[in-house]
Structure 1
Amino acid sequence: MVKQERAVRTRQALVRAAAQVFAHDGFVLASLASISKRAGVSNGALHFHFESKQALARAVEEEAVAVVRTIVDPAEGGGPDPLRRLIDATHALMARLDQDIVVRAGFQLGNGAPRREDAVDLRGLWQSWVEEVLEEAEREGVLAVGVSAPDATVAVVAATVGFEQLGADDRMWLSEATLQQFWDLLLPRLASAEALDGLLSSRA
């Protein structure tokens, strides 16, 4: 049991160290030696858990996917307020990107150049979820007149992915204040008058 717990801790340390190195150096320039050093383990211990740099990158991405799933899955059950679920999910995602290096690295790895064949497209996963929620909002009639789900998806995905990328260098882009400014600007154009009143009332 003690050995198993130690192995779990070592693996977690390696995944976090790999995320830090990948986020700082990029996948191509990252070395296994720098990852093992940052994790405080030997190269042999690293190779015991991960056979290659690609395997480490995959582990980082899988952990990031699991976190993103905790954000979007609870919001997939439907309900009376898809726009509220969308707003809450964007805040939750930006908070995790700000606080969790594994999530930040997971997004960066999935869209690096050159792109790995087995890379996870976290931005694509996020885009698909935003599309689904806004399609639901359109069906329920809570989008403003003249606003379609595809048009709204472009605005939300472009902004949030932009915040994610800019936030890699300046965490201000991931802040609650920045995201609130975005929604204050977009919501009056995005939501129907009735939906907007409900959203503003729930925030008061």
Structure 2
Amino acid sequence: MVKQVRAARTRRALVVAAAETFAREGYALATLPAISRRAGVSAGALHFHFASKDDLAVEVESAAADAVAELAERCRPAAAGARQLLVDAACGLLLATVTDPVVRAGFKLGGDPSRRNGARMLHWWRAWVHGLVVQAQAEGELARDVPPDVATAVIVAATVGFEALGAADRDWLAPERLAQLWTFVLPRPAAGGNEEAAGGTGGTGGEADGT
């Protein structure tokens, strides 16, 4: 039991160290010796758990996807509908890129051109967003003439873009900036079937500020 606990801690330390290295250096420039040094473990211990750098990257992406899925589910009980759940989860996801190196690395690896078999977290996020967009539209929370695929593409692209910009300037992840995204891409249908103007969804901005 003690050995199992120690092995789990070592594996977790390697995943976090790899995430920090991938997020800072990118996949191509990251090296296994640098990751083992950052984790404070020997090269032999690293190779015991992971046969290659790609194995480590896959594990980091898997951990990032799991972390984002857990974050989204934690938002569910407090959300008043699919639309608000999408807003809360997306804001939480972007803020997590600041505090969680694994989530940050999941974004980085997903868009890294030197990896052709990655983007697990981004694939999961796209599917999750699409499901909520469809649900919100069916429940009358989104304008019916907004194609779900288009709304999903805009939200996912904006999420990735905000993360990339926020890595260089944290002001991009300020609540008011995120609120501007939602008031622009998530129109609420008005009574009688007419859409309100984007500026009329001020409630979204307030909800995002409270995230």
Aligned to 2:149: 150
Question: Gaps (5+ residues) in structure 1?
Answer: none
- Determine whether 1:14 maps to 2:17: no
- Determine whether 1:71 maps to 2:78: no
1: CA distance, partners of 2:173 / 2:202:
26
Mapping 1:158-197, distance limit 5 Å = 158-187=157-186, 190-193=187-190
Shift of 1:178: 2.3
Cα–Cα, structure 1 residues 150 and 113, in superposed 2: closer, same or farther, change >3 Å?
closer
Question: With structure 2 as the length reference, what TM-score do the two structures score?
Answer: 0.81
SS at match of 1:192: coil
1: CA distance, partners of 2:113 / 2:151:
28
2: CA distance, partners of 1:40 / 1:200:
45
Q: Which residue type is aligned with residue 178 of structure 1? A: R
Cα–Cα, structure 1 residues 170 and 6, in superposed 2: closer, same or farther, change >3 Å?
same
Shift of 1:155: 2.7
On the 8 A contact 1:19/1:60 being kept in 2, the answer is yes
Aligned to 2:108: 108
* Count, aligned residues: 200
SS at match of 1:168: helix
Aligned to 1:46: 46
Cα–Cα, structure 1 residues 175 and 101, in superposed 2: closer, same or farther, change >3 Å?
farther
Question: Bigger CA drift: 3-12 or 65-74?
Answer: 65-74
1: CA distance, partners of 2:113 / 2:206:
42
Cα–Cα, structure 1 residues 84 and 20, in superposed 2: closer, same or farther, change >3 Å?
same
Question: Bigger CA drift: 176-185 or 96-105?
Answer: 176-185
Shift of 1:75: 7.0
Aligned to 1:141: 140
Question: Gaps (5+ residues) in structure 2?
Answer: none
Question: With structure 1 as the length reference, what TM-score do the two structures score?
Answer: 0.84
CA RMSD of aligned residues (A): 2.8
On the 8 A contact 1:95/1:176 being kept in 2, the answer is no
1: CA distance, partners of 2:201 / 2:29:
50
Deviations 1:162-185 (A, max 9, x none): 112222322332333321232244
2: CA distance, partners of 1:34 / 1:160:
30
Mapping 1:114-129, distance limit 5 Å = 114-117=114-117, 119-129=118-128
Cα–Cα, structure 1 residues 110 and 147, in superposed 2: closer, same or farther, change >3 Å?
closer
2: CA distance, partners of 1:51 / 1:146:
50
On the 8 A contact 2:151/2:185 being kept in 1, the answer is no
1: CA distance, partners of 2:206 / 2:110:
36
SS at match of 2:140: coil
Q: Which residue type is aligned with residue 41 of structure 1? A: V
SS at match of 2:113: coil
